[in-house]
Structure 1
Amino acid sequence: MEQFVYTNEGRVLLREANQDDISKIYEMYQATNPEDWWEEENLSEFRFNLIKEAKGRIFIALLKDEVIGHAEVVLPESKDDPVYLVRLNIHDDFGRRKFGIELVRYSAIIMKNLGYKSYVTWPDTNKSKGLYKKVGLKEIKENPQMLLTIKDKKRTEVEVVKELKFNEEPENLQLVVGCPWARDYIWLKAFKAGEEELLDYRGPYVHQISFEGVEGVTLLDGNSVYIYLPEAEKDNIEMIEELLIYSSNLALDNGIENLHINIKDELWSQLDLSDIWEIDKEEERLEMKMEF
């Protein structure tokens, strides 16, 4: 399915990207502000293939064969769960001209036609929520996202059961710390990028652990921490704190001093890890969702 949008600049084509578009997507970022996965063309290609392998779709906006917009979505296993918009970016020269709105709307229509029931994203609170509102997404809640420096280690009662491999993803546990969507993508990215030590990814260090008889999983990819717990323990603040301490210690043991943490506000407000963490940056991330 392709769609045209008519603008003062000319006719813009919206369509799904293919392998031949990787270099065009890379060039778009070089003309704006290349960072992370778009600093080098080989990283851009790795990212493209990673999204595809994680059951994702990549959409682009083309003006005269030049990519001016780029969006990535990851599809869940169940169509009852939301499709997650991982990334949206518009070329700086074409910002504020509704190309972002059209690209999000286009991708959402395709997801609806495939039978998915909802669409979710996690934009910076003050940057782009207006765009998503115009498409039909509603504000759900804000949760903190932090960049921190680990100051010291701390004793914990957490015990290691075993290290997990790629084929041992914890399907029956809930993600209680970390991005709550696109679980398969998070797992795949941790192993693929960590094993090749791309950007600041390392490891990954994935441990099945036990605390007071309850088992969970902690995943450290050199960049972020993810904690998986049984449904009944998702609000167990004592266990969550112990696993964060364990993950922090694990990071220092592997030469990692800085971490990103995404966590629900109701959990973060009950934690005090100021003795081992120094928060370098804290901002709110806004969950926005649209039901089809």
Structure 2
Amino acid sequence: MTKRVLVTCSAGFLGSHLCERLLKEGHGVICLDNFGSGQRRNIEAFEDHPSFTVNDRDFRIPGSLSSVDRIYHLVSRVSPDDFTDFPVNIVLANTQQGTCRLLDHTRACDARIVFASTSEVYGNPEAHPQPETYTENVNIREIRGYYDESKRLGETLTGAYQRKYDVDARTIRIFNTYGPQMRHDDGRVVPPFITQALRDDDHTIYGDGEQTRSCYYVDDLIEGLVSLTHVNNPEYDVYNIGEEKSRQSKNWHTKYSMLRIRTLVSLMNHYLKMIQYGTDRILPVRLQDLIGDQKSSHVRG
């Protein structure tokens, strides 16, 4: 059934992929983005689509929003490099001025909302892996705390609206996603390695490199987001798109150590430099497809 869908931060890395998926499914999509961190060229391919509407505004500023059936709340900035420059914007977008406003709109429309949280709500965990009984370890005063703690409060607000107003909401915690249209200066796990490989720079690894990260391709994340939204009365309030088991697991991600990620990127870069490309692509995905041309400030597919 065709739905009217509102996507915040829809010109960003995840939002643009989600909008494309929703349009392919035949839904009407409203892009709500002030293009502070998102890039308009991420949505160029479907900006003229008859079922796609661009609303260029800061959703934290009071004003009317169109009635919708579904809301994907993907804000806020997620790059660690942005935590220093935009701490107040990040906190308010994830809490009072952002999440509360969209939850109120969800209630007014009798819609369904997905709040995009993060694995960072666990902070610097003292238990590995973390059971859901683990209450997290976040330093609210450090730079990452602005993002981590505001996402935790965003989860709390979502739960409060569910309990008090019976809002149809679900929360999804996102781990390390990578793919086309990701900023090469994003600052998360995969982009720096690929950027450094393309430049033939040394790779930067903090600590001993044995710390592990859940990494999965953007299409898998979008599949998880859309699938969860389709479910009526889900069993749980919060879903992690990730996996604590070995990389043999047939789940939505693969878990690697930092050293393993670095090695894979290096091997891919070395191998691709030896390939002579003809009319047909030999590999379905090139390294440059994941992180983009370094002459550009943004990742392109």
Same fold (TM over 0.5): no
| Greater share of strand | 1
RCO (CA 8 Å, sep 6+): is it higher in 1 or 2?
A: 1
TM (normalized to structure 2)?
A: 0.28
| Greater share of helix | 2
TM (normalized to structure 1)?
A: 0.28
